[in-house]
Structure 1
Amino acid sequence: MRIHLSSILVDDQRKALAFYTDVLGFVPKHDVPLGEHAWLTVVSPEDPDGVQLVLEPDEHPAVRPFKEALVADGIPFTSFAVADVAAEHERLTGLGVKFTQPPTPMGPAITAVFDDTCGNLIQIEQMA
């Protein structure tokens, strides 16, 4: 068994697609219209056949209060691995990304947390 899909709940699929591709550097995998929304996934350019991140609409009534509570408590929804947190923090900051936590040593890892502009906090992590 292996992980095939993972979802991130977004308030606007098109805005999320632009952020996750143009800013973070993921590449589109699937964009299938489904009425008002789409089956919309992105993948790492380093592993185009790997785990797909589904940019899932956050319209279920339970989702937005959940997301708001996580953000209010500063809790990231998911984490992405990077080779160098400090360099990625600098690159993303230069692109206007807002960080809620700068690069910080956390035991065996260095992490930073940013706002994905779609209602989530996202952690980037480098194993020390």
Structure 2
Amino acid sequence: MKIKLTSVYVDDQDKALHFYTDVLGFTKKADFSNGPYRWLTVASPDDPDGTELQLALNDNPAAKAYQQAMFQQGQPAIMVHSEDVEAEYERIKSRGAEFAMPPTEVMPGVTIAQLNDICGNLVQINTIARR
């Protein structure tokens, strides 16, 4: 088995699409509607047929409460991997992103950065040195 899709709740799908594509650099994979429901996914340009991230509207009260609690506690809604967090930090910051935590070595060989996705979530970027 492998993970094909995971979801993150967002407060505005158009704003989320802009952030995840224009700021983070992901590629839009699916975007279609059925009545009031919109199915919207993005994927890494490095693995376009890999795992997709659904940008799900938080119109469910339980989803909204979960999203808000995670954000208030400083817990990332999603974590992504990069070979170079510092380079990603500079690239993404130059596109106007607001970082809650700049690249920080949290233990030997592990560096993380966290940013606000402007849709109610923290995104964490990790670099893990493999030994």
TM-score, length of structure 1 as denominator length: 0.95
User: What residue in structure 1 maps to residue 83 of structure 2?
Assistant: 83
The one-letter amino acid of 2:122's match is L
User: What residue in structure 1 maps to residue 101 of structure 2?
Assistant: 101
SS across alignment from 2:61: coil
SS across alignment from 1:28: strand
Which residues in structure 2 correspond to 1:60-71 (within 5 Å)? 60-71=60-71
Alpha-carbon distance in structure 1 between the residues aligned to 2:73 and 2:4:
29
User: What residue in structure 2 maps to residue 52 of structure 1?
Assistant: 52
Alpha-carbon distance in structure 2 between the residues aligned to 1:43 and 1:93:
20
**CA RMSD between the two structures:** 1.1
TM-score, length of structure 2 as denominator length: 0.93
SS across alignment from 1:62: helix
Select between 115-124 and 30-39 the one with higher mean Cα deviation: 30-39
Q: Does 2:37 correspond to 1:37?
A: yes
Is the 8 Å Cα contact of residues 23 and 96 (structure 2) preserved in structure 1? no
User: What residue in structure 1 maps to residue 124 of structure 2?
Assistant: 123
The one-letter amino acid of 2:126's match is E
Any gaps of 5 or more consecutive residues in structure 1? none
Alpha-carbon distance in structure 1 between the residues aligned to 2:35 and 2:124:
32
Determine what percentage of the aligned residue pairs are the same residue.
Answer: 46
Any gaps of 5 or more consecutive residues in structure 2? none
Number of matched residues?
128
The one-letter amino acid of 1:8's match is V
Q: Tell me by how many angstroms 1:38 deviates.
A: 1.3
Alpha-carbon distance in structure 2 between the residues aligned to 1:34 and 1:125:
36
User: What residue in structure 1 maps to residue 14 of structure 2?
Assistant: 14
